[in-house]
Structure 1
Amino acid sequence: MLIPSSIARLAPHLNLPKANEIGVAEAAEGVIEALRKGEPYDQWLLIFDNAHDPESIMQYVPDGPGGVLITSRNFAWDGVVDTLTVDVFSREESRRFLDRRVPGIGGSEADALAEALGDLPLALDQAGALQSETGMPVGEYLTLLRDQTGKLLAEGRPMEYDVPLTATWALSVSTLHEEQPDAVELLHLLAFFGADPIPRDVLSTGRGTVDPPLSDILDDPLQFSRAVQALGRYALVQIDRENQTILVHRLVQALLREDVSENERERFRRNVQRLLAAAVPLQPDDTTTWPTFARLMPHLEPAQMAQSPDSTVRPLMHNVVRYLYQSGNAPGALALAAECVAAWQAHPGATSRELCTMQRHLSISLRFVGRYKEAFEVGSQALTEAEHSLGAEDEETLRLTNNHCTDLRAMGLFAESFALSSSAVERHRAAFGDEDERTLRMRTSLALDLTLTSRYEEAERLLKRVYSALRDLYGSPNHPTAQIVMNNLVRVIRLRGDYSEARELGEDVYAVGVATLGADHPTTLRAASDLAIAMRKAEGGSSDVLHYAEDLVQRYRRLMGDQHPDKLAADMALVNAYREARRIPDAVAAAELITLAYAQVYGSDHPYTHGCRHNLALLIRLAGDHGKSREMHEFVVSRLTELLGPAHHYTLTAVLGYISDLASLGHWDKAVALGEDALADLRQLLGAAHPMTLGCMANLALDMSKLGRTDEAIALQADALTSLQRRLGEGHPTVAAVGNGERLDFDFDALPI
């Protein structure tokens, strides 16, 4: 009756009989006819504000020369008339609005307020009015909004509106409850998801996992669709048909959560947790599942998934954490894993297996962000617990053993890791078989240990075998795990001295990473780092090499910060490129900072920190301070010999630096004696044709000539030059340097562990 009465009141303005003279219906009919004819006005605008039901309103919409404006929260008007959806403010619009409404509000405060209110114009106006009138700080408002949403939104009503914001929604919910109570039940469920769009298939995938009466709604596709349709009709949700999502405004969610008892809140939250758990993919390493994970992530924290006591939910959280660090979000993985571990340790329902598995993921996440000591402590504790509670040959215990090998490498205990991974491979074979994914991962770990103990040919053979098996297992050479193995292979090929092959293969591996994982994924960045080193080894310090290394450092800084181990490795690669390009002052300044950073991240006595000291020492010698370089190298050689042994690649690299110090100071006898020993060790370790072995020969020839051993020196230098030409190509900078009688330097590059 309200619409005919409102239209009838226009009769006197059109020179028509009033409603009290001829009746409301007749007066309204006369107004509509006059508007249709355009008499006495052919320019008019009729507004229907907050019009709900198209069927009950369209009979009062006149044709004619004027215009009709209908505002409604019911999407059923689509297809009835031409519609224009008026959405919430953009964030920039919210900032500008608040800047005008609340003088002096800061940019960060405006952002926080807009985020909390979901950029809803009326809510922003209400908040602005309250703050202008009371001087309430934004922080206090946000706290009240979180704790007392309904009460706060009833305050500070803008003068243009006679109905509080909360009342509008409450009326819609109340009306809908009378018409279709199952829709309101569904709405309360949706209130316990996050404020991002809710994938519709999450609600359908979880059929059979929720409690009645929700199960009655979700298990019946027709009843579910009718409930969603009703929610859309009352504008309580936004339905995105193209993306198959349902969105509930965050303020509506907050009001709905306040509207139910604590027991009901627990019921709805428990059901949301079960629905999300049922939607979590079971293969977090499969990149095709990552879009599904990404759609679920905004809802996990609001649903309090980490705190769930449900035994069907906890195991799925392992997949979520692994997805996060595998997809490149290590900080997110760390935060979630730590939250889960704390909650599960406090909850008596969590099993030892569940807790040990999550502790393993926590250890991995800590390693991904460069917190190696903490990762070692968490992983060691979990391994001890698993051996005690699950048994030494249990699957989770074996996974933790693999994880512990990585922690040992991170702590610089390369030989210990090699011993453990060697035995662990056999245990994996016995438990799972040769070609099982878990065994192949353990073999990959062993290959890393072989690499870090200078057994490059063994590592190469093993990595090729693992890659072939992974390619068959996954049906694709581009699986993330296969890409890691291929990048490890690129690194080993470089370390055994085939620089051009490493560069060519590295370019292919990097291109695959960019195409499948993205340029900023950690695995792709590691491929870029190894490619940068292979480029420098293959062509020296060219402008292309410098530009590539500098760009890589900037990418790491943007994505991971200055202290991440992978960023530090890229820094050191750039220092070595500076040295090759003869930019010694730049190299010295950078190397000093990097050496300090390595000591902070890895520890002052880690082999990598000593490798950095070696690089700095040889730069200091090139800068002219031969005595200081010798002093530094004496210390580095002593420590690396004790930590890794005298025949390790890193130790011999530092020895060659020390020999060059002696030569620069004129101690030819000692330089030659140590050079002959080093040459024998390098032939045994790397082979007679390795560029480092041949470089040692060339340097030894220079030192022999100083002692008058001319014939030996000439023969040795000629042998080294010919072999280097054959190995590196005649145009290589190293070949040119040896041909010119220059001394060669050998640097250190840190490997991912």
Structure 2
Amino acid sequence: MADERHPEKSDGSGDTGQGPQHIVVTYPGYHRAFATWIERRLESHGHRVTLQRWDPSRDQPLDEALGDLLLARGQVLLVLSDWFFQIGPRREGEWNAVLRGFVAENAERFAAVNLTNRPLLPATAVLEPVDLWGVNEPEAERRLLSRLALTPASPPRELPYAPGSRYPSDPVEVWGEVPRRNRQFTGRDELLNQLQQRLTDAGQGASVCTLVGMSGIGKTQIAAEYAHRFSPDYDVVWWVNSDQRNTQRDRFGELAVELGVTESSEPGERIRAVRETLRRGEPYSRWLLIFDGWEEPEEAAQYIPQGGTGHVLITSRNRSWSSLTDIVDVSGFVRSESVGYLMRRAPHVTGDEADQVAAEFNDVPLQMAQAAAWLGESGMEAGEYLRMVRQGGFSETADRSVLTDYPESSFTSWSILINKLRQTEPRTVELLTLCSAFAPGRIPLGLVRGLPAEDLPENLRWITSDLPAWARALDSLVNYSVLARDSRGDSRGASGDVLGPQQESVHMHRVVHGIVGELTASADREVYREVVRGLLAEADPGNPQDSRSWPRYAELLPHLGSSGSLSSRAPRTQTLLLNCLRYCFNGGEFRVGAELAERIRERWSELLAPDASPMLALTTLQGNILRAGGRFHEAHELDSARLELLRGATTTDEEELMTATSCLAADQRFLGQWGEALQMQREVVSTSLRLLGPDEWTTLLAHHNLGVGLRLLGRYAEAYEVDLGTLRRREALLRNRHPDTLSSANACARDLRLMGRYQEALSRQEMCVRRHIQVLGPQHPKTLWARHNLLLCERRAGTSERDSGAVLASLLEQQEQAAGRSHFTTYALITDYGNQLRRSGDLAQARELIDEAENGWRRLLGQAHPVPTAMQTNAGLVLQAEGDRDGALNMFEQALVGTRVLLGDDHPTTLGCALNAACGRNFVGRLDEAVELSRETLRRSVHVLGEDHPLTLSCQVALAADLRAVREHTEAGKQEEDALQRLTRTLGAQHPHTLSARQRVRPYWDFEPNLS
């Protein structure tokens, strides 16, 4: 440790060591955090501080640059580390000379603190630096004041909070896998300061910046350096790899655990909880989110908190982020940064030579890193290196697309490196070739060490047995800037447990991956890909239904294509692929799952017969994913072809045929083919009972789907009987907290509501929602659907005392986060929210939402479908509320005609449309037609739903109104009196329906879309 002497000063500047002093704190940008802390502490003791970021031009003499610092009054405090002496860079001899000369002559004006445990230049002793490395804040402050001969204030002045208040050596409260700090990070000081200023100056809720630039330009490195350099400004720093949507969802959701805001493992719930917690700023108001490699901004609202005092930093190649965020363009190094970087990593290179190398590679940071690593490690003269690069050129088979925006000499420079490694470090090349069999980005390389040696080719068996050789090979690739150690590859995990080599991961830039893949391609390349396929299969958790295994599947998914897994005949690999699809289905990754399923199908169609067991399993999963994602027609086409294939086979497994039939029935239900679907579902139930018995999981699912089919056809009492039986069996076999049991409980409550038994439905649904929240969490898609049903139950029961519009708006926001705006479950909620807004008088927004939902339903389902057809009656109710009676009647009549054609005259949806059409006719003066339609509708409703059903009673009240309009008062009075008595008996005297009927308010029917 340096001596802490602090001689009295007498420099003629008026500074005596007593009273307020002026100190110039001089620091490299790399140590901005410590310089800011020093400033704050000195100011708290009453002194004036000037911060001076110091990066003088390499062309300026060093004594002149240091002399400029002395132009200010007071003492100059240098913030030293080995990094400080690399500024420029300048030769060691130049520094020693100026320290022994100019600095020694002005020693009374200079002081220093040391932030490293590595040795400094010998002549640094003249500065008498005091060590701040490895000490706590009180001791660091004591040493700082002692070195500057300053008397501590008693007590120190309390300063208002400002960025950088925390002691830099104190860890951030929550630190989320930010890449290790790059000790070779060069320059970019102006850009980093500009970035920090933009984020700080942005208004609350708008502190979002996107770093935009081409691949390899250094965006990730800048984001990582920002996180490290400005970490004292934040309590939470969380890094999210965003090149894969599923990885992004899982990684962002993991922050919920760190914040302690939810115990749910469901991604949608975690994402919502994190956004809301950060928006509120509790428990942390100073947070930084970094989304690295986020190319598509469509889902930005799902992740970026809309408010709060934190900051969001995004890296992307996509300039369309400019419509949502502030944009910071990232270009190549300026020439002085390139030259300085090369000279620091390769000290034997002169400034002129470094300038030539930088010009050769257009100052692109990724290529500069490779060139500097090569020159520094090999010691080759720069002239020889440039000659080799310029003469090499591309190989005839090289894929030039991997070097878009790069000079051709870049490929040659990598070729030089790999040829050298082949001669001197063959095992390093073997490891690099293995890496190229993965996808670019994060590579879980350590998994290979978990494979048995006999599963590896002979030339790779050293990986599992020779740990020192493994470490040397990895170190070499990192030193040559081919790989970067991933933050999850640190020696300790988040829990503090020591991580072994099997948990080690690395990161390979996509450009480097493309180049290396070309240069290491050989006849035995398939051998390496086979190894990766084996380790991916070995890493399969085997339980894609368990959300705890989803992060591992998200990690494996990107490497399936590059490893050749999609074309593998190995049963274990094919099982992995199917499990990855199951993960996508259960985790809600429908888009990713659909793309993966199609890629698998393309490959398997060349390997497997259409009726092979893996291919049939693929079809089931692909259809489920397409259907869950709202791609109903594609799912129907797929499932139809499979069922036709199985029915035409000479021998068919009955269970396979049953599965295919069940899938097609599901497609038909979504496509509005409800009669055909019910017939097929009855076949499924019958076959399952015969093959598997009444209590098997498949049989219970078949009964549940039978209830869905009956409910869609308006046969609510039959649906309830089936659903209640399924619920009782599931409660007995699975218990009442199983997700399948919860689905049955939700179905029973819906049946009761549609049957008009509102209070009973509400009572059941309240319990059902509580259990959904307890078991699945409040944001699980099934919970959101249950909560939606609860709101409908409350409305129908007339017991909602809260602002149901605000509740629906909040639920819609959560639903959109979980499933997206264009998902069919979201459209159902948009419809009900629009209906609620119409009832509350917000007609403009109601019209907007109803139109959005109707158009969305038509895109998903087509024109000739009951749901978009019936949606016209909702649009008519908006027009009627706006006073456009002719327009309203037109919509009512279209809905009535369409539902009669699609569903028949007796379906409850048709009856509801008829109720509204009769109202429309009355309002435009077509009174006789209104009476005729009202009589017919009441008769049919009594027959279908019964005399006491609320829809029947609404039809009776409407008929009374139409009879009064044509002056048939006697019959009108009888109908009205009977309806009021029944409403009072069934719903209660204070129910809104009863009160409206008593006040002679014309009843209407709004359509609630339902596909399940």
Instruction: Give the aligned partner of residue 52 of structure 1.
Output: none
1:397 to 635, 653, 657: 657
Q: Kindly provide the amino acid, as one letter, of the partner of residue 508 in structure 2.
A: R
Instruction: Give the aligned partner of residue 144 of structure 2.
Output: none
> Residues of 2 paired with 1:740 and 1:482: CA distance?
43
- Name the TM-score, length of structure 2 as normaliser: 0.57
Report how far residue 740 of structure 1 moved: 1.1
> Residues of 1 paired with 2:218 and 2:420: CA distance?
25
Pairwise mapping of residues 44-443 of structure 1 onto structure 2 (< 5 A)?
87-88=179-180, 107-109=211-213, 113-114=217-218, 129=338, 147=402, 155=410, 188-189=433-434, 191-194=436-439, 202-203=447-448, 207=452, 210-213=455-458, 223=465, 238-242=489-493, 244=499, 245-251=503-509, 257=517, 260-347=520-607, 352-389=612-649, 391=651, 393-443=653-703
Is contact 1:196-1:247 (8 Å) kept?
Answer: no
Report how far residue 184 of structure 1 moved: 7.5
CA 1:706–1:148 in structure 2 vs 1: closer, same or farther (change >3 Å)? closer
Q: Deviations over 1:575-596 (max 9, x none)?
A: 2112322334443444344333
Q: Kindly provide the amino acid, as one letter, of the partner of residue 694 in structure 2.
A: D
Instruction: Give the aligned partner of residue 688 of structure 1.
Output: 947
Is contact 1:88-1:119 (8 Å) kept?
Answer: no
Is contact 2:871-2:895 (8 Å) kept?
Answer: no
- Is residue 452 from structure 1 mapped to residue 712 from structure 2 by the alignment? yes
Instruction: Give the aligned partner of residue 869 of structure 2.
Output: 610
Is contact 2:418-2:429 (8 Å) kept?
Answer: no
Superposed CA RMSD: 4.8
Instruction: Give the aligned partner of residue 287 of structure 2.
Output: none
> Residues of 1 paired with 2:984 and 2:401: CA distance?
72
Q: Deviations over 1:399-431 (max 9, x none)?
A: 221111121122211111111111121122223
> Residues of 1 paired with 2:795 and 2:520: CA distance?
65
CA 1:112–1:154 in structure 2 vs 1: closer, same or farther (change >3 Å)? closer
- Is residue 747 from structure 1 mapped to residue 747 from structure 2 by the alignment? no
Greater mean deviation of Cα atoms: 123-132 or 326-335: 123-132
Report how far residue 648 of structure 1 moved: 0.7
What residue ranges of structure 2 are gaps of 5+ in the alignment?
Answer: 1-91, 98-118, 130-176, 194-208, 226-330, 339-356, 371-397, 479-484
Instruction: Give the aligned partner of residue 526 of structure 1.
Output: 785
CA 1:44–1:382 in structure 2 vs 1: closer, same or farther (change >3 Å)? farther
Is contact 1:117-1:124 (8 Å) kept?
Answer: no
Bigger proportion of residues as strand: 2
DSSP-derived class of the 1:249 partner: strand
Report how far residue 662 of structure 1 moved: 2.8
- Is residue 489 from structure 1 mapped to residue 748 from structure 2 by the alignment? yes
Report how far residue 357 of structure 1 moved: 2.8
Q: Deviations over 1:243-287 (max 9, x none)?
A: 652112315866765564433321121221222223324443333
Greater mean deviation of Cα atoms: 612-621 or 630-639: 630-639
Is contact 1:546-1:574 (8 Å) kept?
Answer: yes
Is contact 2:781-2:818 (8 Å) kept?
Answer: no
Report how far residue 657 of structure 1 moved: 1.2
Q: Kindly provide the amino acid, as one letter, of the partner of residue 872 in structure 2.
A: R
Q: Kindly provide the amino acid, as one letter, of the partner of residue 378 in structure 1.
A: L
> Residues of 2 paired with 1:468 and 1:459: CA distance?
14
> Residues of 1 paired with 2:549 and 2:128: CA distance?
56
What residue ranges of structure 1 are gaps of 5+ in the alignment?
Answer: 1-8, 15-34, 46-84, 158-163
Report how far residue 705 of structure 1 moved: 3.6
- Is residue 738 from structure 1 mapped to residue 997 from structure 2 by the alignment? yes
> Residues of 1 paired with 2:515 and 2:222: CA distance?
13
> Residues of 2 paired with 1:685 and 1:517: CA distance?
37
DSSP-derived class of the 1:609 partner: helix
2:959 to 682, 690, 700: 700
* Number of residue-to-residue matches in the alignment: 667
Q: Deviations over 1:304-348 (max 9, x none)?
A: 433434343123312211211221111111111111112222446
> Residues of 2 paired with 1:387 and 1:94: CA distance?
67
> Residues of 1 paired with 2:643 and 2:187: CA distance?
51
1:632 to 885, 888, 891: 891
Q: Kindly provide the amino acid, as one letter, of the partner of residue 457 in structure 2.
A: P
Is contact 1:109-1:138 (8 Å) kept?
Answer: no
Q: Kindly provide the amino acid, as one letter, of the partner of residue 505 in structure 2.
A: L
Instruction: Give the aligned partner of residue 805 of structure 2.
Output: 546
> Residues of 2 paired with 1:224 and 1:446: CA distance?
60
> Residues of 1 paired with 2:768 and 2:844: CA distance?
34
Greater mean deviation of Cα atoms: 261-270 or 316-325: 261-270
CA 1:572–1:232 in structure 2 vs 1: closer, same or farther (change >3 Å)? same
DSSP-derived class of the 2:595 partner: helix
Report how far residue 117 of structure 1 moved: 8.2
Instruction: Give the aligned partner of residue 463 of structure 1.
Output: 723
> Residues of 2 paired with 1:707 and 1:600: CA distance?
43
- Name the TM-score, length of structure 1 as normaliser: 0.75
Instruction: Give the aligned partner of residue 591 of structure 1.
Output: 850
Instruction: Give the aligned partner of residue 653 of structure 1.
Output: 912
DSSP-derived class of the 2:906 partner: coil
Is contact 1:232-1:239 (8 Å) kept?
Answer: no
> Residues of 1 paired with 2:583 and 2:719: CA distance?
28
> Residues of 2 paired with 1:455 and 1:213: CA distance?
67
CA 1:376–1:675 in structure 2 vs 1: closer, same or farther (change >3 Å)? same
DSSP-derived class of the 1:242 partner: coil
Greater mean deviation of Cα atoms: 264-273 or 492-501: 492-501
Instruction: Give the aligned partner of residue 64 of structure 2.
Output: none
CA 1:549–1:703 in structure 2 vs 1: closer, same or farther (change >3 Å)? same
Pairwise mapping of residues 704-743 of structure 1 onto structure 2 (< 5 A)?
704-743=963-1002
Pairwise mapping of residues 571-590 of structure 1 onto structure 2 (< 5 A)?
571-590=830-849
> Residues of 2 paired with 1:262 and 1:195: CA distance?
19
DSSP-derived class of the 2:948 partner: coil
Report how far residue 194 of structure 1 moved: 4.5
> Residues of 1 paired with 2:630 and 2:186: CA distance?
39
